[in-house]
Structure 1
Amino acid sequence: MQARMENPASFLPDSIKAINLLYKAAHSAGVDPAVLELVHLRGSQINGCAPCVESGARNARKNGETDERLMTVAVWRETPWFSDAERAALALSEHATRLADSPDAVPDEIWDEAAKHFDEPQLAAIVLWIAVTNFFNRINVTTRQQAPQNWG
């Protein structure tokens, strides 16, 4: 399969500035970067975004993530390798990514569990990062971007 076009941001240079600001904002609230990497990877797996799955796993590994955890993000419920906070963030990522799967897309119990582990600025950052992940996923899947990807 071939990409339908280059990275759309390359045609709209101002969009790169906005994307960088969103990235900076999501990473400025004190959430462990490993949690944000897991949230990104899980959302990207759900959406079938090959470049985001590949780059997410590669970045997580560079930041010290273990192979056991990377190989089991998609089945995190059935493994012992994730903390309660990470599990809460992964559940939130799944529900916020699969909005159309249920009339109550993000049930109170999912939100409340995340709120036990993260303060409001951290929750805001996680929600923003889930949205940014879904943003990237939709661009990449729509334009059939391939992995690996070098958008630098």
Structure 2
Amino acid sequence: MQARLDNPATLLPEVLPAINIIYKTTHSAGVPARTLELVHMRASQINGCGVCLDMGARKAKQSGETDERLFAVAAWRETPYFTDAERAALALAEAVTRIADRPEAVSDEIWADAAKHYTEKELAALVLWIAVSNMFNRVNAAVRLQAPVNFG
């Protein structure tokens, strides 16, 4: 599949500082980097974003993630590899990514489970990071960007 245009962030470099601020802020709010990588990967799996899956797996490995856990992200409910906090974050990622699939986008049950494991600041970071992950997925899908991509 041919890309429709180059990476939009390189064509409009003025957006990079804003994206970097969101990235740095969400990644400094107290949520473990490995958890943020997992939710990014799960959203990217749902949205079929090969670029984000490729980059996400690489970053997750740099954060100390194991192949065993990376291979199981899509089936996180059926595997023993994830903590209760990670499971709550993954459920939140799925709900936020699939907001149109149910009458209540994020159920009270999913939110309450996440709130048992994360502070309000951490929940804010998770929600923003999931939203940004979905933005990346949608941009990459729209322009048919292919992995691997150098965003640096």
Question: What TM-score does the superposition give when structure 2 sets the normalisation length?
Answer: 0.98
The whole-number CA distance in structure 2 between the counterparts of 1:35 and 1:62 is 13
Give, in angstroms, the shift of residue 64 of structure 1: 1.0
The whole-number CA distance in structure 2 between the counterparts of 1:27 and 1:87 is 18
Letter in 1 for 2:81: W
What does the per-residue CA deviation read over 1:2-41, in whole Å, with 9 as the maximum and x for residues that have no partner? 1110011112121011100110111111110010000100
Letter in 2 for 1:50: G
Match of 2:13 in 1: 13
Match of 1:139 in 2: 139
Match of 1:69 in 2: 69
Give, in angstroms, the shift of residue 105 of structure 1: 1.1
The whole-number CA distance in structure 1 between the counterparts of 2:59 and 2:29 is 19
Structure-to-structure mapping, 1:45-56, within 5 angstroms: 45-56=45-56
Give, in angstroms, the shift of residue 103 of structure 1: 1.0
Match of 1:127 in 2: 127
The whole-number CA distance in structure 2 between the counterparts of 1:133 and 1:15 is 15
Residue ranges of structure 2 left out of the alignment (5+ in a row): none
Match of 2:31 in 1: 31
The whole-number CA distance in structure 2 between the counterparts of 1:18 and 1:56 is 20
User: SS in structure 2 opposite 1:3?
Assistant: coil
Q: Provide the identity percentage.
A: 64
Letter in 2 for 1:147: A
Letter in 2 for 1:93: A
Give, in angstroms, the shift of residue 121 of structure 1: 0.3
The whole-number CA distance in structure 2 between the counterparts of 1:44 and 1:141 is 10
Q: Which structure 1 residue ranges, 4+ long, deviate > 6 Å from structure 2?
A: none
Question: What TM-score does the superposition give when structure 1 sets the normalisation length?
Answer: 0.98
Residue ranges of structure 1 left out of the alignment (5+ in a row): none
Q: What's the C-alpha RMSD, in Å, of the aligned pairs?
A: 0.6
